[in-house]
Amino acid sequence: LDEIKKAETIVVLCHESPDGDAVASSLSVMHAVAKLGKEADVIIPEYSKVFDFLPGADKILQKGRTNKYDLAISVDCSDLKRLVGGKEYFETAKRTIEIDHHSVNSMFADFNYVDPVAPACCQVLIGMFEYFGIDIDKELGTCLLTGIITDTGGFQYQSTTPETFEFAAELLQTGVNVSDIYKRVMNTMTKANFELRKRAIERMEFFKEGKIAFTYVTKEDIEEANAETGDFEGIVEEGRNIEGVEVSIFLRE
C-alpha cells in the first residue's frame, strides 16, 4: 500500500494468453488503485473479447505510455518468463509487486504476496482490498467475481474453498449480477471456439483404460476457424467431462 501511494506512474501486468482471472485481476487492481487517488495502466496486448463486458475493459492498453514506471504490479502470474511486458515494463520499473495464487511461484518481485490456497487471484485481491479498507463497489465486484467464477470453473473445482462462497456472497450484496457473469463467461462461446471444439471432439483419443483423454487442433484448424486469443478456452474440459476420465490433455499447434 505504501508503494502504491508513493508511485506517480503505475502499470499492471498479467500472464500471456490471459484467462478470465488474469484479465479480471488486472482490472480489479486498476479500480482499487483509482480509489486510492492513483491511475494505473493495464497492459494486455491480446485477450478474449468475451471479457469486454468487464468495467474498465475499454481502458486496457496494448502497450505502455512509458517504458519506465515507478511501480509495476504483476497479477496471476507465477513466473517472470510468462509475464507480458516482463522485460519491457516490469524489470525496468523502480519497484515491483507480485500478487498470485499459484503454488509453484518463483517470487520474482520486490514484494511478493502469494496465497497458494486461494483458487483464484481475484480471491487473494478481495482479502487484500478488505484489509486495506478499499471500498468494493459494483464495478470492482463484477471484476472480482468474474475472476473467481472463471478460475473455479463456476465453483466446481476442488480448489474452491468455503471462503470462496463467503466472498461471493459479499460481492452479490454490492449489486453484482452473478447470473449475467456466469452466462457470459461460462455458457457463451464464440463461433470460432465452437468450430475448434467440434474438431477437437472428433479427434479425441483415450488411453489407460479411458482414464486419459487426448486431443488437439492444428494451425490449419485455427486459420480456417479465424480463431483469436481466447477461442481455445474450455476445449480441454470436453475430455475431462467424460465418465472415467481423470486427465484431459489438449494441445494446439
For 107-139, write each residue's pLDDT tens digit. Answer: 999 999 999 999 999 999 999 999 999 999 999
Q: What is the pLDDT of residue 188?
A: 83
Q: Give the pLDDT band (50/70/90) at residue 244.
A: very high
Predicted confidence (pLDDT) per residue in 33-89, tens digit: 999 999 999 999 999 888 999 999 999 999 999 989 999 999 999 999 999 999 999
Question: Is pLDDT larger for residue 158 or for residue 90?
Answer: 90
**pLDDT for 234 beyond 90:** no
Question: Other CB atoms closer than 10 Å to residue 185's CB: what's the count?
Answer: 24
**pLDDT for 168 beyond 90:** yes
Q: What is the pLDDT of residue 7?
A: 97
Q: What is the pLDDT of residue 217?
A: 97
Q: For the residues of the chain, what is the DSSP string, one character each? A: -HHHHH-SSEEEE-BSS--HHHHHHHHHHHHHHHHTT--EEEB-SS--GGGGGSTTGGG-BSS-S-S--SEEEEES-S-GGGBTTIIIIITTSSEEEEEE--SS----SSEEEE-TT-SSHHHHHHHHHHHTT----HHHHHHHHHHHHHHTTTTTSTT--HHHHHHHHHHHTTT--HHHHHHHHHS---HHHHHHHHHHHHH-EEETTTTEEEEEE-HHHHHHTT--TTTTTTHHHHHHTSTT--EEEEEE-
**pLDDT for 28 beyond 90:** yes
Q: What is the pLDDT of residue 48?
A: 87
Cell triple for residue 107?
517470487
Question: Is pLDDT larger for residue 201 or for residue 190?
Answer: 201
Q: What is the pLDDT of residue 138?
A: 96
Q: Give the pLDDT band (50/70/90) at residue 18.
A: very high
**pLDDT for 8 beyond 90:** yes
Q: What is the pLDDT of residue 187?
A: 85
**pLDDT for 157 beyond 90:** no
**pLDDT for 215 beyond 90:** yes
